[in-house]
Amino acid sequence: MILVFDQSEQLDSMASGQGPSQNSALRTSLPSAFAAVNAEQSSLYAPPSQEEQERYLQARPGATPQHLGIALQHAHQIQTQKEAEDMILDRIIDLLAIPASPSADPAAPSTEEEQIFRSAMKSFRPGDFDNLITERNYEDLCGYGLCPRKNRKEANAKGETFHFKYGPKGSGPGGRGRSMEIVPREKLEKWCSDECAERALFIRVQLSEQPVWERRAEATRAIKIELLEESWARKEKHKAKAGSSTSASAPDKVSQADVTTSLENLTIQDTGRSQELAMERGDTALSHQQGRVDIQIKEKEQGPDSVARAPELRPEDAYGGSVEGYIPQERQKQPSDNQDGQDMLDQL
């Protein structure tokens, strides 16, 4: 992946990669985005041409095209992994630049920035998210990607590694006194406020542990990152609905709404359930199926002369043959006795 140094170039790349003009299909399906990136710099990591492959095989007399195929496949896998890691790094750098306006509200981000954030989150693992938080803190920003404020700094608590946090009055055990929490200072200083910490950790638990280069294409597409505010709104709706269903006298209307929401939630590939199924079958190696690394099933090549023949009687089978290479004594004797007899006859 090309490193973007120039500010203007960076803006260009952001505009081309994540601008609103891009259709949403490209943004969600990572493989196509990667193909585009690959095509741009094919000169750098081009797979070997047919000619090169032939030359390689000629130089190694023991190697077959199959060996070369396997080697190439592994090389492709490693290359896709590297590209994915580079892309995640680029995304982290891009996310340092948002939100653009210093007065943006983390609770109600602009749709464009929210879109950028969400699409980046799809390819992240929790570890990458932690890296993003570190980077943002180094830039004196709140760890939550959509918050423009500075992270808080306990200036007067220099040298203290822990911070005592008191709750409101009456929040202690048994409703008396105050609750108290002891929090490591560095954890506290990641965020601008407790709300942002909650928002960010809510995103973090939704991220997939599986690295993006081992996911199926649909698995990446099916990941839905929900912001904390959305989740609250959804719960509110549910509550309101539950309340109305008890009071309203039109139950079929409610059930209709339920059906539509459940239909909306239906996806063709339910990742969670399919993974569950795979676990049940003991088929955990779901990796790179139709994902970024394609699987090529290669049949073993067979020459025309290797057609299986029906078994036929061989001379050694006349006495029952050997048992795993051992010829039983009586059978061994029989032919030799005959031979002896013949020799005697000759002598006579």
Residues that bind another protein (CB under 8 A): 1, 3, 5, 44, 85-86, 89, 92-93, 96, 131, 134-135, 137-139
Contact 217, 31 (CB under 8 A): yes
CB-nearer residue toward another protein: 191 or 222: 191
CB-nearer residue toward another protein: 17 or 222: 17
- In Å, what is the CA distance from 27 to each residue of 114, 141, 196, 209, 265? 13, 26, 26, 21, 21
The token duo for 191 is 């965020």
Q: How far is the CB of 175 from another protein (least distance, A)?
A: 42
Q: How far is the CB of 129 from another protein (least distance, A)?
A: 11
Q: What is the 3-state secondary structure (H, E, C) of 38-107?
A: HHHCCCCCCCCCHHHHHHHHHHCCCCCHHHHHHHHHHHHHHHHHHHHHHHHHHHHHHHHCCCCCCCCCCC
Q: How far is the CB of 201 from another protein (least distance, A)?
A: 20
Q: How far is the CB of 326 from another protein (least distance, A)?
A: 42
CB-nearer residue toward another protein: 3 or 108: 3
CA neighbours closer than 13 Å in the CB half-sphere of residue 72: 18
Q: How far is the CB of 59 from another protein (least distance, A)?
A: 11
CA dihedral 282, 276, 203, 155 (to 10 degrees): -50
Q: How far is the CB of 220 from another protein (least distance, A)?
A: 21
The CA distance from 143 to 96, in Å, is 10
CB-nearer residue toward another protein: 10 or 275: 10
Work out the widest C-alpha separation in the chain, in whole angstroms: 125
Q: Which residues contact 160 (CB under 8 A, 6 or more apart)?
A: 154, 185
CB-nearer residue toward another protein: 83 or 214: 83
CB-nearer residue toward another protein: 100 or 318: 100
The CA distance from 50 to 56, in Å, is 10
Contact 223, 122 (CB under 8 A): yes
Written as one letter, the residue type at 91 is R
CB-nearer residue toward another protein: 85 or 294: 85
Q: How far is the CB of 92 from another protein (least distance, A)?
A: 5
The CA distance from 327 to 319, in Å, is 10
E strands, the chain, where?
162-169, 178-184
CB-nearer residue toward another protein: 128 or 214: 128
Contact 140, 96 (CB under 8 A): no
Q: How far is the CB of 141 from another protein (least distance, A)?
A: 11
